[in-house]
Amino acid sequence: MALATTDLSLGYGERIVLDGVDLELPAGRTTGLIGANGSGKSTLLRAMARVLEPRRGAVLLDGQDIHRVPTRALARRLGLLPQDPQAPPGMSVRELVALGRHPHRTGFGLLGPADRAAIDDALRHTAMSALSERPVHALSGGQRQRAWIALALCQQTGVLLLDEPTTFLDISHQMEVLAVLRALRGGRTLVVVLHDLLQATRNCDHLVALADGRVVAEGPPEAVLTPAIVRRVFGVEATIVPDPCTGRPLVIPHPVERGSLGDDQ
């Protein structure tokens, strides 16, 4: 499924966060949204998920304004994993994942064979089958995040939006989650907010760099992660070298002297 924005303007109260954003994200690929804190990455993702209504412009899914799509129909086409989601106390992993079938249920809302098969498939793809009866609150951070990804996967949407899925996880759990996301490729359009540029270049086919409320650059990692764009987006000098593991760009920030940070005297 193709996801795009046209002249998109977003904000909170009187503050404009993003202004005039025009994007066409590649269908069936993984796009990473990158930028400094406050650049509007999560705001853009929430607009794409119809959580935030635009001040101007539109978000288009296969050419259709998402605000004109009925909620249930949109939930069958587009899923969202927000930052730090919370499960009700005592809910098991299987019960959590089953929530992903809500947009597909008919009649009295009971789970049918297709629903149970989708739940089992989502648990298997996220390596959570053995933990399916465990309470969500009893899981490790990485396991908990994989359970939430399983819920989103169980929705069986063509587009999946993920807001900082590796935040607050240690490196081993980050690797677990990113491995699951890589396995989800194959016809599904993923849009991921990431802070770590190494994670972004290794796991995304397409990058969108944001700064000062606008798109500074978009395209493959090789086109986006240049010294000039890194300086513009993050305000740091950097050397770009090939990643020895993937050959993709590896950003190495230059050391910053204390006196150059603008410390108060």
> Each residue's pLDDT tens digit in the chain (265 positions)?
789 999 999 999 889 999 999 999 999 999 999 999 999 999 999 999 999 999 999 999 999 999 999 999 999 999 999 988 999 999 999 999 999 999 988 766 678 899 999 999 999 999 999 999 999 999 999 999 999 999 999 999 999 999 999 988 899 989 988 988 888 877 799 999 999 999 999 999 999 999 999 999 999 999 999 999 999 999 999 999 999 999 999 999 999 776 655 544 3
What is the reported pTM?
0.91
Q: Does residue 70 share a domain with residue 11?
A: yes
Instruction: Assess if residue 254 is contained within a domain.
Output: no
Q: Which two tokens stand for residue 238?
A: 């950097």
Q: Does residue 138 share a domain with residue 162?
A: no
Q: Does residue 73 share a domain with residue 126?
A: no
Instruction: Assess if residue 250 is contained within a domain.
Output: no
Instruction: Assess if residue 205 is contained within a domain.
Output: yes
Number of domains comprising the chain:
2
Which residue range forms the structural domain that includes residue 6? Answer: 1-77+157-226
Distance CA 147, CA 81 (A): 11
Q: Count how many Cα atoms sit within 13 Å of the Cα of residue 216 in the half-sphere of its side chain.
A: 24
Q: Does residue 166 share a domain with residue 221?
A: yes
